Amino acid sequence: MTRTSDRERRRDPARIALYVFLLASAAFFLLPVVVVVLNSLKTMDEIRQGSLLALPASPTFDFWRIAWSSACSGIECRGISPGLFNSIKIAVPAVFLSVLVGALNGYALSQWKRPAADRIMLAITFGLFVPYQCMMYPTIVLARTGGLFGTYPGIVLIHVVYGIPYTTLLFRNFYAGLPDELTKAARIEGASFLQTFGHVMLPLSVNMLVVVGVLQFTGIWNDYFLGFIFAGNENAPMTVQLNNLVNNTRGEVAINVNMAATILTALPTLLVYLLSGRYFVRGIAAGAVKG
């Protein structure tokens, strides 16, 4: 009976249609990646003469090395390697601070059982729906006034401030779903607010910390707009370097180099997802988007 029911379940038209839809969706999203990878391994002559989906006749990683190099000729600089360290030194502290502040805010709001807490949470959530493009002018004025415009501390602070509403909302929903007995037991043992947060709540939030950290890292690493405006030339992240490379108008447009540079820029976020995949899925299942 069990084998028969399993066979019938596999032959269920609805299940088959679901699998077909999932495979078609995966192919739809993976096709651009396949095109980029294939053409980053071809010469320009091969790209011009063949199809974008054709396999490379003689695959080569020479164009990856060109995309990565930081060699300059005259006033023209090609390569995205200078932006790697900039992106790392921007993303790491910005992710750490925004996640830490968001976790502390979320815990405080989840424990504050008063109408004022709901109003504060509503105000924070409202910040999620205001496009930061609309706040650029006052943000630029404030950054200039504080001497932070075009500086490394300035771009880190901008990412932290814009990330706090998002991280606070996720952590508040997560902590609101935990049993109140945990904090009550900590208070009975004499633990303070910060001790309860550091010794009880944070250890229970590992999966959630990974979820929020991965989402924040992805958003900050892939950001171009804020990095272009606030980072300055010396702190320009990889996305700005990629844009400069792709929009280079001197000579022939090297499609293979541009595609290789695109892959190199996207690799760190892909590696982060691969390394944290198990914890990311657990965090989502534990209520990362609940509430």
Which pTM value belongs to this model? 0.81
- Residue 110 inside a domain? The answer is yes
Who's near 124: CB < 8 A, 6+ residues apart? 105, 164, 165, 168, 169
- Residue 275 inside a domain? The answer is yes
pLDDT in tens, 35-51: 889 888 888 888 888 77
Q: How far apart are CA 36 and CA 260, in angstroms?
A: 7
**Residue 77 pLDDT class (50, 70, 90 cuts):** very low
pLDDT in tens, 88-126: 999 999 999 999 999 998 888 888 877 777 788 888 878
- Residue 71 inside a domain? The answer is no
pLDDT in tens, 263-280: 889 888 888 888 877 776
Q: How far apart are CA 193 and CA 186, in angstroms?
A: 9
CATH code, domain carrying 172: 1.10.3720.10
Query: Of 129, 123, 207, 196, which is closest to residue 171 (Cα–Cα)?
Result: 207
Domain with 47, as residue range(s), is 2-60
- Residue 72 inside a domain? The answer is no
Q: How far apart are CA 69 and CA 72, in angstroms?
A: 9
pLDDT in tens, 155-201: 999 999 999 888 888 888 888 888 888 888 888 888 888 888 888 88
- Residue 73 inside a domain? The answer is no
Q: Given this model, what pLDDT does residue 249 score?
A: 56
Classify strands 76-77 and 72-73 as parallel, antiparallel or unpaired.
Answer: antiparallel
One domain, residues 14 and 138: no
Who's near 221: CB < 8 A, 6+ residues apart? 87, 91, 237, 238, 239, 268, 269
Residue 248: both structure tokens together = 């280079």
- Residue 291 inside a domain? The answer is no
One domain, residues 225 and 134: yes
Q: Is the pLDDT of residue 262 over 80?
A: yes
One domain, residues 49 and 126: no
- Residue 77 inside a domain? The answer is no
- Residue 139 inside a domain? The answer is yes
Q: Is the pLDDT of residue 291 over 70?
A: no
One domain, residues 126 and 268: yes
Q: How many domains would you assign to the chain?
A: 2
Alpha carbons within 13 A on the beta-carbon side of 225: 11
Query: Of 119, 101, 118, which is closest to residue 166 (Cα–Cα)?
Result: 101
One domain, residues 28 and 101: no
One domain, residues 118 and 250: yes
